[in-house]
Amino acid sequence: MRLSPPSLLLPLLLLGCPAEQLGVHIPEGGPDAMSHEDLTRDVHALVKLGDRRPGAPGARAGLEIIQRRLGEMKTLPAFGSGYVQQQATGWAVCGQKDGRSDRAVLIVAQDAGDGAGDSAAPTAALISLAKSYDLNQPPPETLIFCAVSAQGGWETLWATPPVPQSTVKTLVVLGPLGEKEGFTLTETTLEAPGGALKGVLASTGKQALHDGPEDRMERLDYVGLVTDLLAVRAHVEAQVSARAQ
C-alpha cells in the first residue's frame, strides 16, 4: 500500500473540518460586519487620491476603487453589466442586491470628491452598509447602493436609473459624516424626473467638517461613524418591516 506524505494528508483533513473547529473566523454580514477599521481604510484610499471631482486627476482611480469595493461587498452591477455611469458633468457608481419584491431601497452617498467629511466618509459609509447586507438570504426589497458626485451626480444617476423610479419606496441620502456629535436622520425630499422622492438625510452637519485641505481624514470619528451607520441600517430595516406588515 502506498501512503501519502503527511504534508499532503493534512490539507485533505483540514478540508473536511468546519472552519469554526479550526479557529478560523469567517466574516458574515449583518450590523456587526461594519467596523471602524474598514471605514478608516476606505477613507484613506480615497483621500490620498486628492481631487476626485469630475474631470480631476484622481477621478478615474476613485471610481475604480468604489466599484471594486462594492463588488467585494457582493453587490451586482446596477447599470446593466457595469457599476459606473459617467457624463461630462458628473458620475455615479451603483451596486445592487436583488430583493424578494419589486420594491427598492435607494441608498446614496453624496461625494464632493475632495476631502474627507463631505467626500470620502459618506462613500466609505455606503460601502460598509453594503457589507452589512452580505447575507445568505436576499433582502426583502432590492437594495441599491450608489455613490454620486456632488456635481452632476444626481443627473447622471437618473439619466439611466438602476431601477424604475416608481419602485423606489425608501430613500436614504448620506451627507457629510464623521463629526463626533450632531448626527441626525432628518426628512428630506429629492426632486427627480419622475417626481419628488421622500426620504431621510443621514448627516453630522450640513457643511464639511473643515474647509479645503483642513478637511482631513484624521479628524473623523470612525468609531462614532459605526454607531451612526447602525442607526441608518435600523431605519432601513424599520421601513421595510413596516411595509411587510
Domains of the chain (ranges; CATH) run: 27-244 (3.40.630.10)
- Residue whose entry in the numeric block shows the C-alpha cell 473547529: 21
Mean pLDDT score of the chain, rounded to an integer? 86
Q: What is the per-residue pLDDT for 14?
A: 45
For residues 77-98, average pLDDT: 96
- Residue 27 pLDDT > 90, yes or no? no
> Using 50, 70 and 90 to split pLDDT, how confident is the model at 118?
confident
For residue 113, the number of C-alpha atoms closer than 13 Å in the C-beta half-sphere is: 23
For residues 32-38, average pLDDT: 96
Residue type, 25: H
186-217: per-residue pLDDT in tens? 999 999 999 999 999 999 875 544 445 456 78
- Residue 47 pLDDT > 70, yes or no? yes
- Residue 165 pLDDT > 90, yes or no? yes
For residues 232-244, average pLDDT: 89
Weakest mean pLDDT among 21-30, 110-119, 143-152, 212-221: 21-30
Name the 3-class secondary structure at 118.
helix
- Residue 228 pLDDT > 90, yes or no? yes
> Using 50, 70 and 90 to split pLDDT, how confident is the model at 7?
very low
State how far the Cα of 52 lies from the Cα of 23, in Å rounded to an integer.
41
Q: What is the per-residue pLDDT for 72?
A: 97
State how far the Cα of 113 lies from the Cα of 185, in Å rounded to an integer.
23
- Residue 2 pLDDT > 50, yes or no? no
For residues 9-37, average pLDDT: 60
For residues 68-89, average pLDDT: 96
Question: CA dist 192 to 106, 129, 135, 159, Å?
Answer: 13, 24, 31, 10
Residue 172's H or E segment, with its range, is strand 168-174
- Residue 96 pLDDT > 90, yes or no? yes
Radius of gyration over alpha carbons of the chain, in Å? 20
Read off the pTM: 0.86
127-158: per-residue pLDDT in tens? 999 999 999 999 999 999 999 999 999 999 99
